[in-house]
Amino acid sequence: MMNAPFTIEQIGMRDTSPAAVIGRKAATRNRGPAFRKGEIHSMRALSVTSEVFPLIKTGGLADVTGSLPKALLPFGIETTTLVPGYPAVMKKIERAGVPLLVFDHLLGERATLVHGKVDDLDLFVLDIPTLYDRPGGPYVDYAGNDHPDNWKRFAALSLAGAEIAAGILPGWVPDIVHTHDWQSALTSVYMREKGCATPVVLTIHNLAFQGQYAASLLPFMGLPESTLSMDCLEYFGDISTLKGGLQTADAITTVSPTYAREILTPRFGMGLDGVLNERVTVLRGIVNGIDMDIWDPATDAHIPQRYDSTSLRRKRANRSALLDHFGLDQGDGPIFSAVSRLTWQKGMDMFADTADEVIFKGGRIIVFGQGDHDIEQQLLDTAARFAGRMAVKIGYAEPTAHLIHAGSDAIVQPSRFEPCGLTQLYALRYGCVPVVSRTGGLSETIIDANDAAISARVATGFQFHPVNTDGLRLALRRALDAYGDPRSWARLQNQGMKTKFSWERSADQYAGVYSSLVRGTTNSDNNARRQVY
Ligand code: ADP
Ligand code: GLC
């Protein structure tokens, strides 16, 4: 079925004969002592993902899959990332890419696996023109409709991941496979069907998207009827690729400890809380880090004036450029901004409902993003009422996101649920004060400016709960009051900029999860429970 026109050795990838790989696997699989913090592991990981920065990004998933490999390197973990060959990806890999092998019939499609490097990333790109070479984004067409064959596009990605895990590439076999969200969750289902026992970690970045498709598609995914069972793919009579992943992965992580607890409840579990409770012993939360090189106001090429915590007044030049960019009146008063998907999850409708609070107190508002048409329209209508003081732009552009962080005073994130959230972390680094709902990762990355936190000099932002417009309104009021006292505002900014945002600690935790699985020293039930609760 498959030819291998090139082998890994021919293109000069590091390593090695299959014998060496097998020897190394045997060594790493020896049940050694449990993982110790900060330990070096020497391991090879395959990350299977539908997005990876800087090749293709629709949100935080790409930031995480793009930055985690670099963060894992100091722990001796080398990651190769498998990603679909969308046009943007093929364009970036074009010159650097070397075809490794051809699948004649990957779910009926001809596919080429290409190896290449972009920046620090080592990549396998799955080039299937019939599935990926089309206009629009990774998931939707230009009109915002899902690609009708998404089930197949991401089943093919997962199947290719499983083939690699099972050893289709001579000389390159991963010790661990890391899958992300519903798009690659089927990888572990395919692997188990192939009898491939390589450990798999599935990270839930967002439980709201579950890869739910008609059960009749099962044979077209190349999966046997037996996988349509309660303990695998079956989900209210349909297939859920995410559920299949949750049932077959060896460890499940999500992107903050609070979200790990929240998703065990019906309110946040989105229909999968039952499965998650059954698998709670292998579930843990690891908070996301950020790429400290890409998001650094001292070196950021996208902003007119660079600065750091000792030169915060330089933000003024960025503020001025930001107001010009969005066609707002120049002048004093705080700028409250949002860079976000404009969706119900992100609570952007609540921001529209409370805009008057900021504007009537002399502030300005900038909203940049795209998402649900109704919410976009609600924001645009609100901005029309406050011409010169509030701007809403529908769109997506990395440089603009950086400029907003550099020029704003506060970043508003009133999410109804937020697995981790990265925007508030970028805000902290850029000396913006986050105003956030108390949920998921927001609740544990921002320290509310309550009296105790202020006197301990650890406050970094404003949290609100319950998550509704009244809650947001009160939080905006508190932030506006604090802005009126320049010394306390500056203290908030400085404390925020001192926060540890890097991957170091979280990468250590991922390394620990990988290591315990590879060594077969998976956490005992009690240990795992301790991590969740
Ligand atoms: P989510 O992944 O749920 O959308 P995160 O906060 O984890 O939320 O990550 C969002 C990422 O997407 C951040 O890197 C943010 O800067 C980026 N982003 C969101 N909206 C835009 C936009 N309109 N233009 C550019 N980047 C954006
Ligand atoms: C998801 C979540 C977000 C998280 C991101 C990266 O898109 O909505 O909270 O930060 O994934 O893990």
Give me the domains of the chain, ranges plus CATH numbers.
30-289+505-529 (3.40.50.2000), 312-498 (3.40.50.2000)
Q: Ligand 1 pocket check: which of 254, 259, 325, 339 to mutate, most ligand atoms within 8 Å of Cβ?
A: 339
422 lines ligand 2 (CB under 6 A): yes
59 lines ligand 2 (CB under 6 A): yes
The mean pLDDT values, 10 residues at a time, for the chain of 533 residues are 35 32 33 53 94 97 98 96 97 88 97 96 98 96 93 98 96 96 98 97 97 98 97 97 98 98 98 98 97 96 97 96 98 97 97 98 98 97 98 97 98 98 98 98 97 96 98 98 96 96 93 94 41 36
262 lines ligand 2 (CB under 6 A): no
**Residue carrying the six token digits 């913090």:** 37
> CA–CA distance from 6 to each of 11, 77, 115, 163, 171 (Å)?
8, 25, 11, 16, 12
- Atom 5 in ligand 2: which residue has the minimum CA distance? 60
Helix (H) or strand (E) holding 417: none
209 lines ligand 2 (CB under 6 A): no
Question: Residues 34-50, buried b or exposed e (16+ Cβ, 10 A)?
Answer: ebeeeeebebbbbbbbb
Q: How far is the CA of 532 from the centre of ligand 1 (A)?
A: 27
Rounded CA-CA distance 46/28 in Å is: 16
Q: How far is the CA of 434 from the centre of ligand 1 (A)?
A: 15
Q: What is the pLDDT of residue 14?
A: 35
Rounded CA-CA distance 325/366 in Å is: 10
**Residue carrying the six token digits 């704003």:** 408
434 lines ligand 1 (CB under 6 A): no
Question: Residues 156-189, buried b or exposed e (16+ Cβ, 10 A)?
Answer: bbbbbbbbbbbbbbbbbbbbbbbbbbbbbbbbbb
54 lines ligand 1 (CB under 6 A): no
344 lines ligand 1 (CB under 6 A): no
250 lines ligand 1 (CB under 6 A): no
- HSE, side-chain direction, 13 A CA sphere, residue 286: 27
Rounded CA-CA distance 158/152 in Å is: 10
68 lines ligand 2 (CB under 6 A): no
CA dihedral 73, 303, 442, 178 (to 10 degrees): -30
Could you identify the atom of ligand 1 that is nearest to the CA of residue 63? 14
Q: How far is the CA of 318 from the centre of ligand 2 (A)?
A: 27
Any idea what the Cα angle at residue 49 is, between residues 45 and 50, rounded to 5°? 165
Q: Is the dihedral of CA 111, 112, 113, 118 positive or negative?
A: negative
Q: How far is the CA of 59 from the centre of ligand 1 (A)?
A: 4
Both tokens assigned to 465 = 């709960």
Q: How far is the CA of 106 from the centre of ligand 1 (A)?
A: 32
Tell me which amino acid residue 114 is.
Answer: V
Q: How far is the CA of 419 from the centre of ligand 2 (A)?
A: 6
Quick check: 406 and 297 in contact, CB under 8 A?
A: yes
**In degrees rounded to 5, what are phi and psi of residue 298?**
-80, -15
Q: What is the pLDDT of residue 170?
A: 87
The SS3 call for residue 121 is: strand
Pairing of strands 364-371, 335-342: parallel
Q: How far is the CA of 441 from the centre of ligand 2 (A)?
A: 9
85 lines ligand 2 (CB under 6 A): no
421 lines ligand 2 (CB under 6 A): yes
Residue closest to 479 by CA, chosen among 452, 443, 504, 449:
449
440 lines ligand 1 (CB under 6 A): no
Could you identify the atom of ligand 1 that is nearest to the CA of residue 346? 3
Rounded CA-CA distance 430/427 in Å is: 5
Q: How far is the CA of 256 from the centre of ligand 2 (A)?
A: 10
59 lines ligand 1 (CB under 6 A): yes
Q: What is the pLDDT of residue 174?
A: 97
Reduced DSSP (H G I as helix, E B as strand, rest coil) percent helix, strand, coil of the chain, to 5: 40, 20, 40
Ligand with an atom nearest the CA of residue 402:
1
Rounded CA-CA distance 48/288 in Å is: 18
**In degrees rounded to 5, what are phi and psi of residue 77?**
-105, 120
Residue closest to 344 by CA, chosen among 289, 270, 277, 274:
270
Q: How far is the CA of 178 from the centre of ligand 2 (A)?
A: 16
Ligand with an atom nearest the CA of residue 181:
2
Q: How far is the CA of 58 from the centre of ligand 1 (A)?
A: 7
Quick check: 148 and 136 in contact, CB under 8 A?
A: no
61 lines ligand 2 (CB under 6 A): yes
Quick check: 179 and 185 in contact, CB under 8 A?
A: yes
pTM over 0.85, yes/no: yes
398 lines ligand 1 (CB under 6 A): yes
515 lines ligand 1 (CB under 6 A): no
Q: How far is the CA of 53 from the centre of ligand 1 (A)?
A: 12
